Structure 1
Amino acid sequence: MKPLLVLVVAFGLALGGTRLWLGHVDYAWAGNVAMATMLVFTGIAHVPYARGMAQMLPAWLPAKAAWVYGTGALEVAGGLGLLVPAWRPLAAACLLVFFVAIFPANVISAFKHLDYQRGTRTGPGPAYLWFRVPLQLLFLAWTWYFGLHRAGGLPG
């Protein structure tokens, strides 16, 4: 829920900011700023919640802490990439793959009833997926629309 709130609030603030500074609303810039803000927010959260997030990973995966820190760094890097117009299409394309790749961790978390912030098995369980699946689809659509579609697609 927090990432959605960050995304929406950042989008509203960025829209207002473009209106004030540019004299018109720049939806593409605001959309990318909002996603970047959300990704930096969630990427940094990998540090204090690493123990709980490690429990979201498949049992067969080694070095779980490294994966948690690595995916957090990728979120931050992807978000920052969205802010650089020349890098935006590539960053958006990589983020689309990333969002699909990390989704199984959310499924694992739901079926284990994990609360990754507390590192306990007191989470909402599979019902969480009724929120997470549409949220993940929103992240994919948002990234495609503002990062690729509005940016003119991949260079090359």
Structure 2
Amino acid sequence: MKPLIVLLSVFCISLLVTKLFWNNYEFALSGRIAMSVMLIFTAVAHFAFTKGMAMMLPDFIPYKIEMVYLTGIIEIAFAAGLFIPDLKIISAWLLIIFFILILPSNIYASIKQIDYQKETFDGNGLGYLWFRIPLQILFIVWTYLAVIKSEIII
């Protein structure tokens, strides 16, 4: 829920700022800014709640702590990549793939009722997937529209 609030809040603020300073709503730019801030926000959790996030990974995945750190760094790299002209399209496609690849860990965490912030097994459970799966789809569509489709139109 928090990443969605960050995404939408930053998007609205960015739209207002672009209207104020450029007298035009910059939807694609605001979308990239919002996605980048959301990625930084979620990346911070990888470093603040490392052990709990490692619990979200199935037993067959080795080096769980390192994987959590790596995915946090990847999120930061994507956040930056969305603003580098020569890298933003490839960053967007890789980010979409990343969103697809991390969905199983969210499903696993829901099945196991993992609360990554408390490092316990009393999380939201399977009901959380009714929110998380559409949220993941929103992130994918958002990235496509804010970066890839906006570049096709321009």
> What TM-score does the superposition give when structure 2 sets the normalisation length?
0.96
1:122 maps onto 2:100 in alignment? no
Assess if the C-alpha contact under 8 Å between 1:92 and 1:147 holds in 2: yes
Q: What is the match of residue 131 of structure 2?
A: 131
The residue type paired with residue 65 of structure 1 is I
SS in 1 for 2:47: coil
The aligned runs of 1:2-151 (5 Å cut-off) are: 2-151=2-151
Per-residue displacement from partner, 1:23-57 (whole Å, max 9, x unpaired)?
21110100000000100110111001100000000
CA shift, 1:117, in A, is 0.7
**2:65 & 2:147 partners in 1: Cα distance?**
29
Structure 1's consecutive aligned runs of 4 or more residues displaced over 6 angstroms after TM superposition are: none
For structure 1, the 5+ residue unaligned runs are none
Indicate the percent of aligned positions where both proteins have the same amino acid.
Answer: 41
Per-residue displacement from partner, 1:109-156 (whole Å, max 9, x unpaired)?
000000001110110101110000000000000001111111229xxx
CA shift, 1:86, in A, is 2.7
CA shift, 1:20, in A, is 1.5
SS in 2 for 1:15: helix
The CA RMSD over aligned residues, in Å, is 1.0
**1:84 & 1:7 partners in 2: Cα distance?**
20
**1:152 & 1:84 partners in 2: Cα distance?**
16
Per-residue displacement from partner, 1:60-88 (whole Å, max 9, x unpaired)?
11110000000011111101111223321
SS in 2 for 1:7: helix
The residue type paired with residue 7 of structure 1 is L
